[in-house]
Structure 1
Amino acid sequence: MLCAVYKSVKKDRTYLYLLRRDDFSAVPEALLKTFGTPVLVTVINLAKREHLALADIDKVRQQLTEHGFYLQLPPPEESLLAQHKRQQQQSSN
Structure 2
Amino acid sequence: MLCYIYKSLKKEQTYLYIAKRDKFENVPKQLLTMFGKPELFMTFNLAGNKQLAIADIDKVREAMQKDGFYLQLPPPVTNELEVFKASKGIHDSD
TM-score (norm 1): 0.88
Question: Which contiguous aligned blocks of 4+ residues in structure 1 show a shift greater than 3 angstroms?
Answer: 86-89
Cα-to-partner distance string for 1:22-69 (whole Å, 9 max, x where unaligned): 000000000000000000011111101342110100000000000000
The total of aligned residue pairs comes to 89
TM-score (norm 2): 0.87
Q: Which residue of 1 is the match for residue 53 of structure 2?
A: 53
Which amino acid is the alignment partner of residue 64 of structure 2? L
Where in structure 1 are there 5+ consecutive unaligned residues? none
Which amino acid is the alignment partner of residue 5 of structure 1? I
Relative to its length, the structure with more helix (as a share) is 1
Alignment of 1:20-35 (within 5 A): 20-35=20-35
Where in structure 2 are there 5+ consecutive unaligned residues? 90-94
Q: Secondary structure at the match of 1:24?
A: coil
> Cα distance, 1:83 vs. partner?
2.8
Superposed CA RMSD:
1.5
> Cα distance, 1:80 vs. partner?
3.9
> Cα distance, 1:84 vs. partner?
2.6
